[in-house]
Amino acid sequence: MNIKIRICIAVVVLIATSMISCNAQKNEKNVPLITSSEVSPTERTETEAILTATISPIEEKTDVMIYSNYFEDEKNAGLFEGITTSSGSLNLNKSNLDVQSGKQALEITGTIPGAIFSSLEVTFDVGSLFGFQTLDLSTKTIRFSYFVPEDSPIDIIVLVVLSDTGQVSLKNFNTNQEGDVNSKNSWHDAEVNVSNIYKNADWAWSDLSDEESQKTIKNAEKIMIAAMRQNEGQSVKTSFLIDNLKWINNDVQQIVDQNENSETLRTYADRQGIMVSSTLLYDPSLFVDTFSDPWYRYTLATQFNMTSAGVPNPPAEKPDDISQIEFDYTLTNETLEFIDKNNLYLYGGTGGWHTGNPRWITDGTYEELKTFLDKKIESNLTHYKGKVLYWGVFNEILDSNGISLHNRQKKDINDVMYGTDWAPYGGRYSPYVDGDDTSLIEFAFAKARSVDPDAKLFLNEFGVEEFGTDRSNFFHNLVLDMKNRGVPIDGIGIQLHLMYPKSPAPGGTDNLSNVEKYLDRIDENVKQYAIDGFFVAFTEFECQIRLDDIDLSTQEGQDEYSRRQLKQAEIYAGIMKIVKENPNVAFINFWSVADRPQMSAYDWSGMEGQAENVHKFVYTDSFLFDKNYEPKPAYFAIMEELKE
């Protein structure tokens, strides 16, 4: 089969899984009024430069829906317009830099008195920055990065809003917790959902009434970031750094008015007839929740034309009658307006996976699992019928340790995940296969076809991308045999969780030592599947830059990081070239929009006790957009490939 499905329908979407965990600790409401003198002009140095902001167009100058300031522009050196401090001086620091945060940061330097609750501060004046007097922060999420030196007496960073009514401390971020992620002498990312604080009257401190505090938030004249001491001590000269200040309106639904002239990934993908997707996750009860992040939604809708359909989790406890399970689509339905307004295509995942199941499924009998699959697939495909173009019916049926199937015979007490809720019998065990009996998997495909005959059905797997390897050949023969026996399988999903250079993961391969050869073998494999009548989808694509083996505080380390970024871009562009040149590639899904915590396959920090058994990384540097949702070299490399 040599024809790529390129169907133009408006679809609706969601994904159910997890939640972003915030580095910032929630603090007690015990911080008093930030005391400072009248704002005075700051001292100037030759290294200081104008700080400019990127502001999205707005119909009336009464609000700023999207604002970003990375303290990078030096076109008019000598001015800090709208940004002041009464603490001492403002400078642009070029030596203490966070990864993915440009070439300089804003440094606030001054003498902090010895009295408790003394502070240094930087203030952003609404009138000077935007030309109107007040800004409505009650609808926004604010982000910024901060750094406090190790020997500094600063204990907390406080985000404060001021108006003629008074001032409100919105949230505190600790800097002095030993062993905590917010410890000093390293960069940290702060996020404040001001909308929730406003609605719930949940600010860190205010001596105003609730009504007056809300009025201050809604009519902000100034935004202050203060670095405060909570313990009495010596008066000392110190400093702190701020970078990546940005906010976005939480209530934006129709993100962008797409047109054929916009310079976005989505525009060029549409012109080529290519579906470029990124995963959307939504389940506040778990550890990743990208739908609740407005910057994630904004970038997804602006840059991608497809996303993922979430399905509800099975009940934690075994029901009395499995055939009568009721699935809760509340979270799914919450996303429908967003997806519909932004005209995104949709793919989904249902059926089965050998890990991550409630214990009653892990220990289920053949008939119990068949009943469960029957009910689950019936429910999911009926709910999305006519909306989902592609379904991943089963996921990762091959044994990760060899050329065979996960099955009931592979309980492994030596597996690093053995005994965890995620994989109580180890990662090689599957309740869905008994020996070589794949009849439950085949039943799932037949059931899916009967419920939605128009959707294309895929089997998703990892480690099968290269033509001619033993694992790839085994998988190819497996799906070809299924197809020849009448199993309604339309295509295969290829997972590509890569790391450059070689991953330190258990069993990590060095397949990127020759990138050109690696890409050629993937291309050959895709072409072979076309000959045999299969679609191919790149369902989970990322290429993470390994950062734990280089020192980013040195010029040598920064140069090596830049080199790795260019290699990452080469790999991304090479995969997109394969997608563009092979009509049987149905879509490509980037595993995340941006480098957010716990979004890489190599970041296990949110997965219960497994984090103690599997490697962790401080940074996730895998995707087209960095942690600040700024495009990376890989993004521009893909854009150039799509423009050709």
Chain segment 373-395, per-residue pLDDT in tens: 999 999 999 999 999 999 999 99
**Per-residue confidence (pLDDT) for residue 226, from 0 to 100:** 97
Give SS3 for 558. Answer: helix
Q: What is the mean pLDDT of residues 509-538?
A: 94
pLDDT surpasses 90 at 135: yes
**Per-residue confidence (pLDDT) for residue 26, from 0 to 100:** 32
pLDDT surpasses 80 at 285: no
In a domain, 419, yes or no: yes
Which of 214, 249, 284 corresponds to the end of one domain?
249
What is the secondary structure of 206-243 as a DSSP string?
-SS-HHHHHHHHHTBSEEEEEEE--S----EEEEEEEE
How are the residues of the chain apportioned to helix, strand and coil, as percentages rounded to the nearest 5? 25, 25, 50
In a domain, 7, yes or no: no
What are the C-alpha distances in Å from 314 to residues 24, 289, 375, 525? 31, 18, 11, 35
Residues 326 and 382 in one domain: yes
Q: What is the mean pLDDT of residues 320-329?
A: 95
Structural domains counted in the chain: 2
- What percent of the chain is modeled with pLDDT above 90? 66
What one-character DSSP code corresponds to residue 68?
E
CATH code of 233's domain: 2.60.120.260
**Per-residue confidence (pLDDT) for residue 282, from 0 to 100:** 87
Residues 306 and 363 in one domain: yes
- pLDDT tens sequence across 410-462: 999 998 889 988 899 999 999 999 999 999 999 999 999 999 999 999 999 99
**Per-residue confidence (pLDDT) for residue 17, from 0 to 100:** 27
In a domain, 300, yes or no: yes
Q: What is the mean pLDDT of residues 300-328?
A: 94
Select the more confidently predicted residue: 12 or 250. Answer: 250
First to last CA, the chain: 25
Residues 324 and 199 in one domain: no
What is the secondary structure of 291-358 as a DSSP string?
TT-HHHHHHHHHH-SEEEE--PPPPSS--S-GGG-----HHHHHTHHHHHHTTBEEEEEEEEESSS--
**CA–CA separation, 344 and 301 (whole Å):** 8
Select the more confidently predicted residue: 1 or 627. Answer: 627
Residues 194 and 285 in one domain: no
Q: What is the mean pLDDT of residues 275-295?
A: 87
In a domain, 269, yes or no: yes
The residues with which 241 forms a beta bridge, in sequence order, are 107, 147
In a domain, 42, yes or no: no
pLDDT surpasses 80 at 306: yes
641, 580 Cβ separation under 8 angstroms = yes
Residues 182 and 272 in one domain: no
Residues 6+ apart with CB under 8 A from 465: 472, 494, 496, 521, 522, 525
Residues 491 and 464 in one domain: yes
Least confident of 22-26, 236-240, 314-318, 368-372: 22-26
Tell me the whole-structure pTM to 2 decimals. 0.86
CATH code of 559's domain: 3.20.20.80
Residues 119 and 180 in one domain: yes
Half-sphere exposure of 467 (CA within 13 A, CB side): 13
Domain extent, residue 592, equals: 265-643
Task: Of 103, 87, 82, 73, give the one whose Cα is nearest residue 43.
Answer: 87
In a domain, 90, yes or no: yes
Please name the helix (run of DSSP H) or strand (run of DSSP E) that holds residue 586, with its range, or none: strand 585-590
In a domain, 12, yes or no: no
pLDDT surpasses 60 at 305: yes
Residues 479 and 626 in one domain: yes
Residues 157 and 269 in one domain: no
**Per-residue confidence (pLDDT) for residue 98, from 0 to 100:** 83
**Per-residue confidence (pLDDT) for residue 404, from 0 to 100:** 96
